[in-house]
Structure 1
């Protein structure tokens, strides 16, 4: 499906969603964020979709930031609301019950890096540049960047990238734990789709429980996280897919998971 702001296509059980503003380096304005929110609602509700790949159109950018032209016209009150719109989108993606992989094909700056960080996994081209340059505009990240970078890469890296404002290359991003993999740019789409397709073969209910357990555990004390994990383990153990998975293992065959 194609519309003016997003491109979406299905590849088996993997849905690819591309921000489609290449002339603006895929900058995020309010309309694009609303379109993305709808696209992820649709992917979450579609039983045929078991994984999502998020990327940007064109050869230059994943998403190069928020749309500064739109932001510059905002009042302080409107700017706070714009920040909350972005945060709601990032939270929606972060809480997706299906794995979301960011395919970082170029610049991921400001709101673009914030968008990538809310995805569950990130695969970057070796030519990608990632950063939070808001301080150079007299601002700070407003879509959750300070909080997610702190959790992904630690305090030192969060302070370095936000206070300094300079982007890092893909190799440095990998060293900081900001991305999971770096691959040659020419192989990025094939590698990402292969990875996402493998994720899409997993047991959907187990995938959802894993995402929930890691999300909850990252925001609570370890004892609470362990209790939540045990509860999820018991619930998933009762599913048909768990029975199928264990039976397939004992019978030395591939499981056929049915999301039940």
Structure 2
């Protein structure tokens, strides 16, 4: 447990909470590193039968990248940044136990992507999701791929190029939120589902996840190679940092 994330066992279910509510749980390298460590530790711990990932407070699951960190990146740091995301996304994709996101609020940008890599998502009527990275000058290289896998080309283009945020009803209709429950029942329903899934034959569940991961692995690898190139070029030009700074000034 660190200041960046909180870990609590609820029986055999590990609840991981992103813990920066004052910044809408926006993540930076220390939070990403701690989250990867927690997920990998949970994967090796036989006492952990499922994981729920949520955010502190009632406004946001996670607002995505902390732009105060990103606005200072140069091209070399941007490449390392993409590798940090590859590590986190791989940890989630290869986690062979049930992995559920409890959407206590908005999931934006990279947080939207992380939530879509989970097995299931539980939200409430005010849970919103979207890919607004374009509005702060960030190319949506990995987000486009995940959205295309989930929704198809036309909807992926819509979401990455407009940067619009979807309301809970649209997310549910599209299958991005599996269940909508009253706000005060999001965690209870997530725990119920986690325990239901954990009770299923564990090897079969793990083999299914291995198959899902294998089916998308080539696209995942290609996406991160392109993302590395795209973000290096963007940060070399300086446009991304400048747009991040402008976005923060407007805020």
1:216 Cα deviation (Å)? Answer: 2.2
User: How many Å apart are 1:187 and its aligned residue?
Assistant: 1.4
Equivalent residues of 2:4, 2:19 under 8 A apart = yes
Counterpart check, 1:44 vs 2:43: yes
Aligned to 1:18: 17
Alignment of 1:98-137 (within 5 A): 98-137=97-136
Q: Is 2:167 aligned against 1:169?
A: yes
Find the aligned partners of 1:158 and 1:184 in 2 and give their Cα distance. 29
1:60-93 Cα distance to aligned partner (Å, 9 max, x none):
1101110100000001221122122112201211
Deviation at 1:218, TM superposition (A): 4.5
Secondary structure (helix, strand or coil) at the match of 2:73 reads: coil
Instruction: Describe how 1:178-193 pairs up with structure 2 within 5 A.
Output: 178-193=176-191
How many correspondences in the alignment? 218
Gaps of 5+ in 1: 221-260
Whether 1:77 and 2:76 are equivalent positions in the alignment is: yes
Aligned with 2:212 (options 211, 214, 220): 214
Cα displacement string for residues 128-177 of structure 1 (whole angstroms, at most 9, x for unaligned residues): 111111111222235x3111111111111111110000100111111222
CA offsets 1:96-124 (integer angstroms, 9 cap, x no match) = 01110011110100111111111121112
Equivalent pair of 1:60/1:105 in contact (CA under 8 Å): yes
Worse-matched range after superposition: 176-185 or 52-61: 176-185
Helix, strand or coil: the match of 2:107?
Answer: strand
Instruction: Map residues 228-247 of structure 1 onto 2, 5 A cutoff.
Output: none
Q: Which runs of 4+ in 1 moved over 6 A?
A: none
Distance, in Å, in 2 between the alignment partners of 1:93 and 1:116 is: 10
What's the C-alpha RMSD, in Å, of the aligned pairs? 1.4
Shift of 1:219: 5.3
SS at match of 1:214: helix
Q: Does the aligned pair in 1 maintain the 2:2–2:34 contact within 8 Å?
A: no
Q: Which has the larger radius of gyration?
A: 1
Q: Compare 67-76 and 86-95 and name the one that shifted more.
A: 86-95
The alignment's TM-score, normalised by the length of structure 1, stands at 0.80
CA distance in 2, matches of 1:36, 1:161: 26
